[in-house]
Amino acid sequence: MWRGTMVAIGFAAIIPARAGDVHSHAHPTHAFDDAIARANTMIALSDSDAADGGATILRTHGARTARAVVLLHGFSDSPRQFASLADSLFADGDNVIVPRLPHHALRHRDARALAALTPSELCRVADESIDVAAGLGDSVIVIGLSLGGTLAVWAAEHRPEVRRAIVIAPAFEVAHVPSMLEKPLVNLGAHLPNISRRLASDTLRPDRDPGFATHGLAAVLRLGMAVRGDARDLTPKGEVLFVINDHDRTVKEGPVFDIASVWRRFAVPVSVYVLPDSLGLPHNVIDPIGGSASRLVPPALLNLARGQEPPRWLARR
């Protein structure tokens, strides 16, 4: 019995877990009214079961603007993670959409719901959001954190409409796990029965799903592997700005430099900025729960979104 179980686990570790269909199926809008109609349809379909504060955010000025910004939230979080930045971008004249990612921020649900997550549906939501943004503004900018950062890289690779992608601490590899074990662990996470861990919830933030589900985490990392594998063949048409956090204890920085190196060889305008370790920032550098130092980050992101130089403390590496 024990030997049979070990053999089964061994096979699970070596059988590749595929990402599925992570290609773009683009149908961009071209007019503001069409974009609003598409956004309303997307919201109606996705947000009927959203927890309080967890619904898609749409901020528009009633007409097409120079910039339309897509903000992509992290794993186990919700659009509310980017609410403050969305308001700042809107106040600066941009139209903004922050989609709720699949199986996140569900009413009366918890982290166990994330087990159903797949790379394909994550890409579909990113695709649909860029379709909408194409009609909301002349230039499309995508900003994402963690899982959202991985999707921002996917968008830069697959969608020529993306003029600028700001990629914050993308979830390519988990910290403290040797790279050689990454694929076997992802395979195990995908093939073995799901294991979920629910952490204490915050009654003030019912939109968050504290905890994890191994199938969901495996889906996030499979997407990251697919994005990294496509880097040589799908070079972005626009600018890519990576923002990494030297104090991050959740994801690794190495894959970011690997992708940046590849794209520089193909003359892609790519930069890597570093949040210094001295700030002591957690992985979630956007949300208010990140602490007082995290207040420095949104203004710097606004600079990057506008195509301006960030503060000097955000060093380019």
SS3 95: strand
Which domain covers residue 86, as residue numbers? 41-316
Q: Categorize the per-residue pLDDT at 53 as very low, low, confident or very high, splitting at 50, 70 and 90.
A: confident
Condensed to tens digits (0 to 9), the pLDDT of residues 162-181 reads 999 999 999 999 998 888 77
Structural domain includes residue 27: no
pLDDT one-digit tens code per residue, 131-161: 999 999 999 999 999 999 999 999 999 999 9
DSSP 273-303: EEE-GGG---S--SSGGG-GGGGGHHHHHHH
In a domain, 35, yes or no: no
Number of domains in the chain: 1
49-63, 145-159, 186-200: the lowest-pLDDT one? 186-200
Q: Check if the beta carbon of residue 284 is closer than 8 Å to that of residue 74.
A: yes
Residue 24 lies in a domain: no
Q: Tell me, yes or no, if the pTM score tops 0.85.
A: yes
Residue 7 belongs to a domain: no
Residue 34 lies in a domain: no
Q: Are 251 and 146 in contact (CB under 8 A)?
A: yes
Q: What is the mean pLDDT of residues 123-132?
A: 98
With beta carbons less than 8 A apart as the criterion, state whether 152 and 239 touch.
Answer: no
Tell which wins on pLDDT, 293 or 2. 293
The residue-averaged pLDDT of 66-83 equals 95
CATH number at residue 131: 3.40.50.1820
Please say if the pLDDT value at position 7 is more than 60.
no
> Quick check: 96 pLDDT over 60?
yes
Chain mean pLDDT for the chain: 89
282 is a domain residue: yes
Residue that the structure tokens 């909301």 belong to: 136
Contacts with 213 (C-beta within 8 Å, 6 or more apart), sequence order: 111, 112, 113, 114, 115, 117, 194, 195, 196, 197
Tell me if 201 is assigned to some domain: yes
Does the residue 14 lie in any domain? no
What is residue 247's three-state secondary structure? coil
Q: So what's the pLDDT on residue 204?
A: 66
Task: Tell me the CA end-to-end span of the chain in Å, nearest whole number.
Answer: 53
Assess whether pLDDT exceeds 80 at residue 249.
Answer: yes
